[in-house]
Amino acid sequence: MIEHLILEQSVDTPGIDMDPNTGVCEFTGKSFPADVTAFYKPVIDWIEEYGKNPCPKTEVNLKLDYFNTASSKILLEMFNRWETLYKNGNDVVINWYYPDDDDDMQQTGQEYSELLMLPFNKIGFSVQFM
């Protein structure tokens, strides 16, 4: 059985929580690790293994404040794996969260949604300052 994958958020890496029992995968924070490939290898491996016996529904929630070009390529690689899962008849949805005032993140979500053939929700939210 595939294990629950949890990677703690740091200054330059996102918090990642991928639960094989619920099918919910969460990414939060910033993504600009020094070695993108090494950081995301366990995530890509997890998606590959999960795809062999997925939950009835897979929900991917991305709440990233910032990511660099290298991270964007890895994100696309992950999206392509979830798209394969979807094309194989599984229920998969991507939820792309972005601050209402961040046009770049909104546009990036739009671009990803146009590249992929799977349900892709773009969800704006208001940033509250205390």
Q: Are 47 and 83 in contact (CB under 8 A)?
A: no
Q: Which domains does the chain have, with CATH numbers?
A: 5-125 (3.30.750)
For residue range 5-38, what is the model confidence (pLDDT) as tens digits? Answer: 999 999 999 999 999 999 999 999 999 999 999 9
130 has pLDDT over 60 = no
CB 116 within 8 A of CB 88: no
Note the pTM of the prediction, 2 decimals. Answer: 0.94
> Within 10 Å of residue 9's Cβ, how many Cβ atoms?
15
**pLDDT tens-place string over residues 70-85:** 999 999 999 999 999 9
Q: Residues in the chain, how many?
A: 130
